[in-house]
Structure 1
Amino acid sequence: MSDSPEKDGAAMTATLDTADAPPAARRPRWWKLLLRDRVATAAAVVLLLVVLATTLGRVLIGDLDTRQNLRATNTPPFSLDHGWEFILGSDALGRSVLARLIVAGGTTLSVAVPAVLVSLVVGGAVGMWAGYHRGWRENVSMRIADIILSFPSLLLAVVVLYIFSPSAANIVAVLAIARIPVYLRTARAESAELRGRLFVDAARTFGTRPSAVIVRHIAPVVAPTLLTVATVDFCFVMLAESSLSFLGIGIQPPDVSWGLMVAQGRQYLQTAWWTAVFPGVAIVITTVSATLLAAWFRLATDPAQRWRLALPRGRRSASPLPEVTK
């Protein structure tokens, strides 16, 4: 028994407050929160299947995506008359649509993922550096971002790829440069607000170098916001690559991407609709899944909103904020 009644009362109040706290206050693991949301779980499973199919599937199919079978040209889908590889039909040259979807998905992801990562790392690092130091660093960074944003991303990519040879490396470079301002402005705003917080002031008081303050104290707080932006931006970059390939200035044959498959199959819409529809469906499913997962990730990384994920989905929008025990 403690000699101080005040301490006993404070300890009892803290215990009751912890017991009455909402489920989100106990910080459940992220995968448990994900499994509570059926839509987000389905989106994550779809994206995982796309990644596995485009990485491991290419090893399993070999050269099936380029092998021609002139006896099976424009084979309709959902038929096993010519083997399992033609389950989604074939194109005008007798090539398996399923195999080409797998290879094209790998090409599309190999362009979209590096472009997002490069713009995320460069834009995030420069934005945190500019927002923390302020002054001329912030002014120069923001003016460069304004110059890049003054050109529409897709139009800039069209002009650059028209001048230079359209290749996967050039597409990654131009899309990454065009999307850097998105992360730069977001990171700059976040770090400019964080530099006035007490924990940052305490780190500076103890003589921590600015680079160490940015890496150890500011970057972990800004990272969830940047990752949420990157998830949504992945959809834009993938659609941009598909649009460029559809216009003929993106991925070039013999390589193939989903956008190029749509472009090659549009002239066969009346006779072989599946050659253009299936890659279009793959683009839609992947982008919608990434958007839904980004919405879930935004809630999961927000301490003020994370508790909503512990509720049934139908009660999230109507539930009031949890009361704070004083």
Structure 2
Amino acid sequence: MTVTVDDHVTGQGDPAPAGEPRSVHRARWWRLLLRDPAATVAALVLLGVFLASTLGRVLIGDMDTEQNLRAVNTPPLHFENGWQFVLGSDALGRSVLARLIVAGGTTLSVAIPAVLISLVVGGAWGMWAGYHRGWRENVSMRIADIILSFPSLLLAVVVLYIFSPRVANIVLILSIARIPVYLRTARAESAELRSRLFVDAARTFGTKSGAIIVRHVTPVVAPTLLTVATLDFCFVMLSESSLSFLGIGIQAPDVSWGLMVAQGRQYLQSAWWTAVFPGLAIVITTVSATVLAAWFRLATDPAQRWRLALPRGRRGTRSALQEVHQ
């Protein structure tokens, strides 16, 4: 018996009917995610970080700024002074757990807007340039080359040193530095789609270029751009943490994970948890986003989606493709 790609992925012996409801298609995505333990854990970690960063402030109140001089540098897992010191306290007696929650919200408030701005601007610009080609494409690529010629972190350091290191300035400079990534990706995809039969058919029937880009090009390019955005989220978050660590990112009394590492590095011998825990938060979040991006890349590619039904260690082997057709 030969099993098709869709049958093997969905785990059903019979192919799904052509008119199946959208809810069934949505359930397939959940089933694909649950079949990959690593991607499932990564999604749960990111969901937990997002919920803790957005809703945690309601639960902790002003606990991140309250000082308890009787609990200075309290080690983790000590509950004598309350549950809020489960991850210890810093040199001013502030809860590390509460500061991690607030710092996560600050870090996400920089990374998410920066990625969204660069994704929308760079993606739309790249699809416009790739579809029209000609001078539009040449000018766009030269602008992208000029931006990429400057190291993004060095460019951010110079700009933030001249202007005030506010959250809005950090988001703006990081988003501008990452626009060429999406511009080049969208340009390459849309330039290839321009010669496809369905685009030629739409052009033959008199559809305007803007409508073709929105209706036919964007749905095909969007999965690739979203995969790039997931990976770029890690880079932007690490860039913000690096800038805060250098002292030109988030400024006190605000706090971010990078700033917590910078403030706790001088206490590594006496209170290591003040720097290690925010560093672990950065590592765990970036690794989870990377794992989920790898899963999303396979899930959105019909030619590679069958690999998600195989064990993670066998997805790259030659025998994997043969196994699907047995």
Would you say same fold, with TM above 0.5? yes
Going from structure 1 to structure 2, the CA distance change for 1:266 and 1:190 (only over 3 Å counts) comes to same
Query: How much has 1:58 moved relative to structure 2?
Result: 0.8
Partner residue of 1:12? none
Task: Give 2:118's aligned amino acid.
Answer: S
Question: Within 5 Å, which residues of 2 pair with 1:1-326?
Answer: 22-24=7-9, 29-318=28-317, 319-321=319-321
Contact 1:127 1:185 in 2 (8 A): yes
C-alpha distance in structure 2 between counterparts of 1:270 and 1:226, whole Å: 43
How many residue pairs were aligned? 310
**Deviation per CA, 1:232-285, whole angstroms, max 9, x where unpaired?**
000000000000000000000000000000000001011110000000000000
Q: In 2 relative to 1, CA 20–174 (structure 1 residues): closer, same or farther, beyond 3 Å?
A: closer
Counterpart contact for 2:314–2:320, Cα < 8 Å: no
Query: Residues 276, 21 of structure 1: CA spacing in aligned structure 2 closer, same or farther, 3 A cutoff?
Result: closer
Provide the C-alpha distance between the structure 2 equivalents of 1:195 and 1:184, rounded to a whole number of angstroms: 16
TM-score w.r.t. structure 2 length?
A: 0.92
Measured after TM superposition, the shift of residue 317 of structure 1 is: 2.4
Task: Flag the 1:206–1:62 CA change in 2: closer, same or farther, 3 A.
Answer: same
Are the aligned partners of 2:89 and 2:274 in contact in 1 as well (CA < 8 Å)?
yes
Contact 2:5 2:306 in 1 (8 A): no
Question: Structure 2: where are the runs of 5+ without partners?
Answer: 16-24
> Relative to 1, partners in 2 of residues 1:258 and 1:195: Cα closer, same or farther, differing over 3 Å?
same
Instruction: Tell me if the contact between 1:22 and 1:322 (Cα under 8 Å) persists in the aligned partners.
Output: no
- Distance change in 2, residues 1:71/1:143 (3 Å): same
Distance (Å, rounded) in 1 between the aligned partners of 2:276 and 2:55: 24
Range 80-89 or range 22-31, more displaced = 22-31
Distance 1:186 1:74, change over 3 A: same
Change (3 A) 1:322 1:22: farther
- Rounded Cα–Cα distance in structure 1 between residues aligned with 2:277 and 2:230: 23
1:150-172 CA distance string (max 9 Å, x none)? 00000000000000000100000
User: Are the equivalent residues in 2 in contact too, given 1:22–1:307 (CA < 8 A)?
Assistant: no
Q: 1:21 deviation in Å?
A: 6.5
In 2: Cα distance, 1:322 partner to 1:200 partner: 34
Give the match's secondary structure for 1:321. Answer: helix
Give the partner amino acid of 1:191: S
After superposing the two structures, state which structure 1 stretch, 315-324 or 141-150, moved more: 315-324
Q: What is the CA distance between 1:18 and its match in structure 2?
A: 7.6
Structure 1 position 311, deviation (Å): 2.1
Which range is displaced more, 70-79 or 22-31? 22-31
**TM superposition shift of 1:29:** 1.2
Q: What TM-score do the two structures reach when normalised by structure 1? A: 0.92
CA positional deviation for 1:17: 7.3
C-alpha distance in 2, partners of 1:198/1:100?
55
Shift of 1:19: 7.1
Q: Displacement of 1:24 after TM fit?
A: 3.1
- 1:310 deviation in Å? 1.5
Amino acid at match of 1:321: L
Which runs of at least 4 in structure 1 moved beyond 4 Å after TM superposition? Answer: 16-22, 25-28, 322-325
Mark the CA change 1:322 to 1:130 in structure 2 (over 3 Å): closer, same or farther.
Answer: farther
2: CA distance, partners of 1:168 / 1:251:
7
SS in 2 for 1:29: helix
The aligned amino acid for 1:234 is F
> How far apart are the structure 1 equivalents of 2:134 and 2:213?
16
Determine which structure has more spread, i.e. the larger CA radius of gyration: 1
Q: CA RMSD in A?
A: 1.8
Residues 30/324 of structure 1: CA separation in 2 closer, same or farther (3 Å cut): closer
Q: Matches of 1:214 and 1:21 in 2, distance apart? A: 28
- 1:197/1:95 Cα in 2 relative to 1: closer, same or farther (>3 Å)? same
Change (3 A) 1:73 1:249: same
Q: Structure 1's 37 and 60: CA in aligned 2 closer, same or farther, altered over 3 A?
A: same
